[in-house]
Each structure stands twice: as C-alpha cells, then as structure tokens.
C-alpha cells in the first residue's frame, strides 16, 4: 500500500484523477498480481484490478487488500469502462509507452473529460528497491552463479552452443529459477564479438572464447550475469590482455561508483580505462542498466545518461570489448547502490577461467 500511496501523491501533483496501468510489471509492483492479463485503475480513494476468468481464483489471493478485483469473462476493456464510469469526471492518465492507438481510442469512449499520456510514473518508483526486492535479486544471482558452476566443468571442445545453453538452463530451473529473464546467450569463437549474439548450433573449438550471458528469476525479480571463459587450452597473450582490460575496467567501476553520480559518470569509470588501453572503439554499448521486475529498467549507466543514480537502485556493471574477426569479452555483475557505496549481489567470480 505504501507503493500506491507514493503513486497517488505523484498523480495529485500532476493533477490526474486516475491512472490506467497496463504494464504487467507495474501491475505486479502495485498489487502483487502475477497473471498475464490485467488492467489496473488507481484513483485517490481506491484501486481496481480488472482481469479475466482464468485468474478468478488467483487474483484475489495474490492481490489481497491492495485492490478490488473485477473478473470479466467477455472483455476486460468493457469491464474497465464500467469501473472508470463509476466516477466519470476528472482527468485520466494512461501509460503512453504501453498503450496502443486502439487502447487510446477505447479510453476516449469512457466518458472522462480528458485523457493525458504519461510515462514512467510507476517505473520511477520501481527504481529504488526495498530490502525484500534486493534480497530477491541477490537470491536470483546466487542461483545463477551456482547453475554456472555446475555447467562449466562439463564444457569441452566440440560441444555446441545449444547443448551448453540447454545444460545451463536446466541447472537454473533445478535450482528454482521461475523462468529465464531473457534468451540465454552462449556465443563461441568469433561469435563472442557479437554483444547480443543468438545462441547457435556452432561447436566450440579448442582455445576459443566462450561467452555466456544468462539470468535467473526469483519472486519475479531478475538477475543478469555474463562470464567469458577459454575452452580447452590456456589463454594466449592477446586473450589475457583483452580479458584483463575488461576485468580491471569493471573493478574500477565497482570500486568508485556511488549513488548521486550521473549514469554518464559511472559509465566513464570503465570507459576511460578501456580507451586508455587502446580499445575504446570496441566498447560500443553502455556500462549497465537497472534490474528488477524487468531485466532492463531504470536507471541507465551510459555515455548519455545525465540523471543521478539514486541510492537504493540495483544495476548491472558489464563492460566489454568486441573485436570482429577475433572474438570478445564481457563481464557482468549485479550491484545494489547502497548509501555507503556499491554492494555486490552476484559473486563477481571474474578471474580468467581456462576450461581444460
């Protein structure tokens, strides 16, 4: 209820009499509802969740006193209209980043004097994590690290990326991951130079990089980790040089990142070191992003992010170097930005691993 109170305060400041919440992560954040179909109306005096027959038993149990639950077997939008028309005056707001043109047309027929598009009202609240949220992300990160530790010793030259991903994903599920927050990336050899490679049927060869970017989910909250290893041989001199550069860049960011600095300043901590080593053009993505109910949420750690990093946020720190025709290295850990500085939620096991 504290979350809804904070949202109502923001709505009052903006002059809105209600907000229609369509983003399912936002619905879950405000009510606890985990279903795949739901529309939430938040008003000064109440909140109403509209969902369908599939969740007739589940929704009241999950939502409790957080909202009145309305079940409709025909059309959740028709039921939403009736809910809104209980108090058909004032200014309504909707989530512009979620609503379609058709959704806007529906809302216009609900009888309110005016509807206004708004963005990120709930997402801004979600940026600062409470202790239970941090604990869930930490648990997800621990689970992910344990699954990787089970998987890596069995990796051998000749095994395909698909096979490695399958064993890793099975290990994640056995340990209790609710699902995969994003498609697991297993990229080997030259394909490790693709920052968001799609796992393929390619067989890993001796002496190659193997990059694994994967996640876990606990109580709806996501962890996001990346590790890069050498398969079947000792790393050569260039592999060690690139790997050490990425590892030291990540360490510099972890040691010096603080709440209150801008996302750009945090990004620069790692980017400066990589550029000084001659690899500046090979680090083309941002240093990190927020983590929570979604694997990518606010805040951003990038060269263009001027907003301050708030105390209480959880972010990834994931520098990388990608060299087409050779391969790439990325190392990623999850960090809680506590008032006293960054607190690692993942194990930061980033010493170079050679799978022999």
Question: Residue 161: its pLDDT value, please?
Answer: 98
> How far, in Å, CA of 163 to CA of 151, rounded?
11
Q: Kindly indicate the confidence band of residue 292, based on its pLDDT and cuts at 50, 70 and 90.
A: very high
Percent of the chain with pLDDT over 90: 97
| Residue 325, phi-psi category: left (phi > 0), alpha (psi -120 to 50), beta (remainder) | left
Percent of the chain with pLDDT over 70: 100
3-state secondary structure (DSSP) of residue 258:
coil
Closest CA to 8 of 113, 93, 133: 93
**Number of Cβ within a 10 Å radius of residue 333:** 27
Q: At 320, phi and psi to the nearest 5?
A: -155, 160
- Strand 68-72 and strand 47-52: pairing? parallel
Q: Are 184 and 209 in contact (CB under 8 A)?
A: no
Q: Are 204 and 210 in contact (CB under 8 A)?
A: yes
- The alpha-helical segments, DSSP class H, found in the chain are 2-14, 24-31, 58-63, 76-84, 101-108, 121-127, 131-151, 161-174, 237-256, 263-276
> How far, in Å, CA of 166 to CA of 171, rounded?
9
Q: Kindly indicate the confidence band of residue 339, based on its pLDDT and cuts at 50, 70 and 90.
A: confident
Residue 141 vs residues 69, 209, 335, 349: alpha-carbon distances, Å: 33, 23, 10, 12
Across residues 233-245, what is the average pLDDT? 98
> How far, in Å, CA of 288 to CA of 268, rounded?
11
Question: Residue 21: its pLDDT value, please?
Answer: 98
Residue 281 vs residues 274, 297, 323, 345: alpha-carbon distances, Å: 9, 26, 9, 30
- Cis before 208 (ω within 30): no
What DSSP character marks residue 160?
B
Residues in CB range of 110: below 8 A, 6 or more apart: 80, 81, 84, 85, 88, 92
> How far, in Å, CA of 96 to CA of 77, rounded?
17
Across residues 45-64, what is the average pLDDT? 97
Across residues 28-44, what is the average pLDDT? 97
Across residues 198-226, what is the average pLDDT? 98
1: pLDDT strictly greater than 90: no
Domains of the chain: 2-126 (3.40.350.10), 128-355 (3.90.230.10)
Question: Residue 95: its pLDDT value, please?
Answer: 98
Give me the DSSP letters along 36-57: S--EEEE-SS-EEEEEEGGGTT
Across residues 188-200, what is the average pLDDT? 97
Across residues 102-112, what is the average pLDDT? 95
> How far, in Å, CA of 21 to CA of 106, rounded?
14
> How far, in Å, CA of 11 to CA of 267, rounded?
33
Question: Residue 88: its pLDDT value, please?
Answer: 83
Q: Kindly indicate the confidence band of residue 47, based on its pLDDT and cuts at 50, 70 and 90.
A: very high
Q: At 255, phi and psi to the nearest 5?
A: -75, -25
Across residues 317-335, what is the average pLDDT? 98
| Residue 35, phi-psi category: left (phi > 0), alpha (psi -120 to 50), beta (remainder) | beta
284, with CB counted inside 10 A (0-12, 13-18, 19+), is exposed
> How far, in Å, CA of 182 to CA of 194, rounded?
16
Question: Residue 126: its pLDDT value, please?
Answer: 98
87: pLDDT strictly greater than 90: no
Across residues 40-46, what is the average pLDDT? 97
Angle at 54 between CA 297 and CA 66, to 5 degrees: 55
């Amino acid at each position: 209820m504290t979350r809804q109170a904070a949202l109502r305060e923001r709505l009052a400041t903006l002059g809105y009499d209600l907000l229609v919440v369509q983003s399912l992560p936002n619905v879950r954040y405000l009510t606890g509802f985990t279903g795949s179909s739901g529309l939430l109306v938040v008003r000064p005096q109440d909140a109403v969740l509209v969902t369908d027959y599939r969740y007739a038993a589940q929704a009241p149990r999950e939502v409790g006193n957080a909202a009145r639950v309305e079940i409709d077997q025909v059309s959740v939008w028709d039921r939403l209209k009736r809910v809104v028309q209980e108090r058909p005056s004032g200014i309504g707001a909707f989530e512009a980043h979620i609503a379609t043109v058709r959704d806007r047309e529906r809302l216009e027929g609900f009888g309110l004097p005016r509807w206004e598009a708004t963005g990120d009202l709930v997402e801004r609240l979600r940026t600062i994590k409470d202790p239970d949220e941090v604990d869930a992300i930490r648990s997800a990160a621990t689970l992910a690290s344990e699954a990787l530790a089970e998987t890596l010793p069995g990796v051998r030259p000749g095994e395909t990326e698909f096979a490695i991903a399958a064993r890793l994903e099975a290990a994640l599920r056995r340990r209790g991951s609710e699902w995969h927050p994003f498609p697991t990336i297993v990229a080997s050899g030259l394909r490790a130079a693709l920052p968001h490679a799609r796992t393929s049927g390619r067989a890993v060869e001796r002496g190659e990089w193997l990059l694994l970017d994967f996640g876990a989910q606990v109580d709806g909250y996501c962890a996001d980790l990346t590790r890069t290893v050498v398969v079947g041989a000792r790393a050569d001199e260039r592999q060690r040089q690139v790997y050490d550069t990425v590892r030291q860049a990540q360490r510099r960011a972890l040691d010096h990142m603080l709440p209150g600095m801008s996302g750009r300043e945090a990004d620069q901590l790692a980017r400066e070191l990589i550029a000084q080593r001659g690899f500046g053009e090979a680090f083309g993505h941002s240093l990190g992003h927020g983590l929570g109910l979604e694997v990518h949420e606010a805040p951003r750690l990038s060269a263009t992010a001027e907003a301050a990093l708030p105390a209480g946020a959880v972010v990834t720190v994931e520098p990388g170097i990608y060299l087409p025709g050779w391969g790439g290295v990325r190392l990623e850990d999850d960090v809680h930005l506590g008032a006293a500085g960054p607190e690692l939620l993942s194990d930061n096991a980033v010493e170079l691993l050679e799978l022999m």
